């Protein structure tokens, strides 16, 4: 199995303050034609800062997303990377007030199973579709009692070449 050699990024002065910021992040990898190639992240921060959080999730997205084979160096020119920085989640009081283009969704069962869907996924244009997709992704029956949280993200997307 081929692995990419990843060097630690050098941090320049303008983004040095990121070493003091903690947040959950998701790293989404897509082919240039839009096909998903990997997406892994954290709801709450697990690392010391957002730089390490993003690095860890980027490696996991590229090599540990069980839905895909690991990324190879031959693919790099055809891939686009997007980082979603999560704002802290808060409870949902009314699902009808959510906008799937702006609001991400977290579901959690009483047994502790949890799943998440980022906002602004074109084929998930209703809250009902978001819920169905999360349940499918984490294998939760739709009729299971669940609690909902919502969150917003700041997206950092690589420009198309």
What is the per-residue pLDDT across 85-141, written as a single tens digit (0 to 9) for each? Answer: 999 999 999 999 999 999 999 999 999 999 999 999 989 999 999 999 999 999 999
CATH architecture of 1-86: 2-Layer Sandwich (3.30)
Q: Flag whether pLDDT at 161 surpasses 60.
A: no
Per-residue buried b or exposed e for 97-112, using 16+ beta carbons within 10 Å of the residue's own CB: ebebeebbbbbebeee
* SS3 category, 106: strand
Q: Are 134 and 117 in contact (CB under 8 A)?
A: yes
Q: Are 91 and 151 in contact (CB under 8 A)?
A: no
Q: Name the segment(s) of the chain with CATH classification 3.30.700.20.
A: 1-86
Q: Look up tokens 């998440």; give the residue.
A: 116
How high is the pLDDT of residue 53?
95
Q: Are 95 and 148 in contact (CB under 8 A)?
A: yes
Beta bridge pairs of residue 114: 108
- CATH T-level fold of 88-152: Dna Ligase; domain 1 (3.30.1490)
Model confidence, pTM = 0.83
């Amino acid at each position: 199995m081929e692995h990419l050699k990843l060097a630690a990024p050098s941090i320049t002065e303008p983004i040095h303050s990121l070493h003091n910021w903690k947040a959950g992040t998701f790293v989404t990898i897509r082919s240039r034609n839009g096909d998903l190639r990997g997406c892994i992240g954290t709801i709450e921060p697990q690392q010391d800062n957002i730089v390490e959080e993003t690095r860890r999730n980027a490696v996991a997205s590229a090599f540990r997303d069980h839905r895909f084979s690991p990324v190879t160096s031959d693919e790099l020119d055809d891939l686009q990377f997007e980082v979603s920085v999560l704002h802290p989640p808060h409870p949902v009081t009314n699902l009808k007030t959510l906008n799937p283009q702006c609001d991400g969704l977290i579901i959690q069962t009483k047994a502790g199973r949890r799943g998440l869907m980022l906002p602004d996924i074109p084929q998930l244009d209703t809250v009902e579709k978001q819920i169905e997709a999360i349940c499918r992704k984490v294998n939760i029956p739709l009729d299971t009692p669940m609690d909902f949280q919502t969150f917003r993200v700041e997206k950092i997307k690589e420009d198309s070449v």
